[in-house]
Amino acid sequence: MITPSSIRRHAGIALGALICFSGIMPLVAQNEPAADAAVIATPGEAAPELTEAADLAIERGLQYLIATQKPDGSWSSKDGNFEIAGTSLGLMAFMVKGHFPGFGRYGATLDRAKDLLLKRAGESPTGVVGGMYEHGLFTLAMSEMWGMTNNIEDNKKIQTALERAVQVSLRAQSPLGGWRYHARPDCGQDTSVTAMVFVSLASARQAGILVPTETIDRVVGYLRDQVWNEKSGGFGYQGNSGGTLACTGGGAYAAQLCGMRETEWVQAAIRYLENSPKVFNRKEIGEYHYAHYYAMQAMVQAGDEHYAKWYPQIRDALITLQNPDGSWNEGTAEKPEVYPHKTPMSIIILGTPHRYIPIYQQ
């Protein structure tokens, strides 16, 4: 098996760019990641990168996460729900800027989060960690963290948890090629869970874990034939009768990771996103942070021209939406509970130019 140390490196990170290697590279020393190497835009630059305001927003968001981390290392809603999702995303919010467990000023914070996830994995008799959506986020966090801690024994535990989590997802794929909220192939499928689970499998595959070609082909078949709407270009939640921004962003991103970037149906999905009115208006878009988490990565995969148009708009919108305490939390009349995903997802979106996390690279 390709080891993570042959693919991912702490050393040699320059200007926030971590290169994804496709082959085996010589082992190098694991030094502390070059965190805080912000890429700040200067007047006249063509490529949209971090502004000072965006970098400050990220730092304020990270400080909010530090202040709200629970003693056991988790991030969750006030009543303890969504622990796996909140903790997995919380870890990746720090990792997107080059902070990893065991290193630097945030090392202890991230160690506690890592230990909480590994504890939950060890407590699961089946290997399922949360529902399938949370399981996908857990798998993604394990994959992107594998080989990036300062503890060899921890990396072995992460590898074991990751391999077990991947096998759960492979077994749970439905006959049509998607996933639903329970880890069984007879539970059906929807675009939301399918996108999250497959993004995590794509990350694991980058890290050297076997994901069969058959699995990928079935995902393509599900996205293209079951939920993509040829007329609108968007992806529906279940069925192809229409499209939503969140499902289209997630469906497009998953399809791109399947190798479908240049196909007409994926290009149509990108046009659907770009042509959607008021897409950056928080009041007009339901599940705003979730939708833009996927849409941002779909634009990265679509190419520099698409990214250059999209990133500055969502960057500036998120800066405006940040709360005084550094969070992006807000409830609604329908959903008064403050979900733990909004702040880390916003940080991940803002931190897109850093390119530290391989699955968020082109």
pLDDT in tens, 275-312: 999 999 998 888 899 999 999 999 999 999 999 999 99
Report the top-level CATH class of 4-360.
Answer: mainly alpha
As a whole number of angstroms, the distance between CA 246 and CA 249 comes to 5
Q: Whole-structure pTM over 0.85, yes or no? A: yes
The predicted pLDDT at position 289 comes to 95
DSSP SS3 for 134: helix
As a whole number of angstroms, the distance between CA 102 and CA 337 comes to 32
Give the domain ranges of the chain. Answer: 4-360
The predicted pLDDT at position 335 comes to 56
First CA to last CA distance, the chain: 24
Q: Crossing angle of helices 83-95/132-145, nearest 10°? A: 30
- Quick one: how far is CA 280 from the chain centroid? 19
Using only the alpha carbons of the chain, give its radius of gyration: 19
31 and 102 in contact (C-beta within 8 Å)?
Answer: no
Residues of the chain with pLDDT under 50: 1-46, 333-334, 336
